[in-house]
Amino acid sequence: MVKKYSVVLCIALFCGLFVLCTTNRQIAARTQEVYDHLKTFSDALAIIQNNYVDEIDIKNAIYNAIKGMTASLDPHSAFMPPDLYREMQVETKGSFGGIGIEIIVKDEVLTVVAPIEDTPAFHAGIKTGDKIIKINDEPTKNMTLFDAVKKMRGKPGTAVKLTIVREGVKEPRTLSIVRDIIKIKSVKHKVLEDAFGYIRIAQFQESTAEDFSKAWKDITAHISSPRGLVLDLRSNPGGLLDQAVKIADWFLDAGLIVYTEGRTENQKMQFYAHPDNEIIACPVVVLVNSGSASAAEIVAGALQDYDKAIIVGTQTFGKGTVQTIFPLSDGSGLRITTAKYYTPHHRSIQEKGISPDIVVEDADNRTATGKKSKQFREKDLINHFKGTETAEPDNETGEVFYEQRPGERHVAEDKQLQSALTVLRNWETFKKSLGKQ
């Protein structure tokens, strides 16, 4: 019997050693493959450096190579030279010099996601879907997103020329926009009639959770028992993941808020609500549109999964990936996609977005001729990740409840907000008709 166990133990040890040796050989083979490709790169760089007709700038050559490498990944991965990396760090704090515009690259053309409220771009008439074909007379075709941002930002008081093409308008239009200090106020709030509260989150920044807390306390100071709250996430492009989690925590007394899945263990994270936190227990309506992305979708998705809110508006952008910033030794940085996030009910929002419970059309979704314009989203971007789960069906063609022009407007003119208030006034009826608990 002892001999039998000894044989089994020897076999197990041999198998373990075999697996270990095989794994080590695989790692060594991959390492050698990397070195072989790096040698090809260094050889090419040396040939160009020694034989090109003009002397080249080595740093720029390497920077451009890294830009090309990240450009082949996905729309949200990019290389940031030191100056852009510094600007990115400033932007998360909510203040920078520029014109106030959110852009992406679609079909190799810079396209406006949304102008930021009360900024030079907003007041100049820039609209969602505008295509920027020139910046200061320089064509933008094949221009990287970060290069475009660098050209549009600058010293306050100076002007930048944008040539735009708009659907339904025959001729391109050139606008001269004077730069200003862009101070993005993350949270705005007010008390509405009939004891309703309103909180708008424009972007998730370092101070968003703290500002939200102050806003809610101010609302409850004026209304001891609010009948309901409108949480406005329209045209919110996202931002910091931890801030989105803290906002969702205000509405949940327990349970998973969001989880991420990546290749490495440190990218597999789960974020839960804290049962000892203060909870907003009144009825809640969340307003969303095609410009609501990433962190905004995390909040909307979590509240929708737990039936803690009714979602009103149009289909969201559909960005279900997480980006991590890696600083490099020379002050530059890499922004690369490291994980995908999922809602508490295991929905991937990538490509699909959040489907509103009640569709409220944007009037600005129409061209100059009155036709409904196509709203671009994550699924329209080159090299975007495919959704790994089936999310909510695209509800763009659903019943139109109201029409709304985006931007901060008087409450009476904001039909989406009026829709939200209608839902809050008839909360039990809407919950029952939508099959919510």
Catalytic pick among 150, 319, 352, 415: 319
- Active-site choice (305, 357, 364, 414): 305
Indicate the SS3 state at residue 173: strand
294 is a catalytic site residue: yes
Q: According to the model, what pLDDT value does residue 391 have?
A: 35
pLDDT at residue number 92: 60
pLDDT of residue 6: 47
Q: What is the pLDDT of residue 182?
A: 82
Q: Tell me, yes or no, if 59 is annotated catalytic.
A: no
Query: Residue 311: its pLDDT value, please?
Result: 97
pLDDT in tens, the chain (437 residues): 444 444 444 444 444 544 445 555 565 667 777 788 889 989 999 999 999 999 999 999 999 999 889 988 988 898 988 887 887 776 666 567 899 888 888 777 899 877 887 889 999 999 888 999 999 999 998 787 878 988 998 889 999 999 999 988 889 999 999 999 887 789 999 999 999 999 999 999 999 999 999 999 999 999 989 999 999 999 898 889 999 999 999 999 999 999 999 988 988 999 999 988 889 999 999 999 988 999 999 999 999 999 999 999 999 988 999 888 899 999 999 999 999 999 999 999 888 899 999 998 865 554 444 455 556 556 555 556 666 653 333 333 332 332 333 444 556 678 899 999 999 999 999 999 998 87
Q: Is 57 a catalytic residue?
A: no
Q: What SS3 state is found at 53?
A: coil
* Dihedral of the alpha carbons of 23, 29, 31, 35, in degrees to the nearest 10: 180
pTM: 0.74
**Burial, 86: exposed, middle or buried (Cβ in 10 Å; 0-12, 13-18, 19+)?**
middle
3-state secondary structure of 285: strand
Task: Name every residue whose Cβ is closer than 8 Å to that of residue 370 and which is 6 or more positions away in sequence.
Answer: none
Distance in angstroms (rounded) separating the CA atoms of residues 198 and 191:
6
Given the residues 77, 186, 294, 332, the one annotated as active site: 294
Nearest Cα to Cα of residue 202 among 186, 215, 216:
186
> What's residue 134's pLDDT?
95
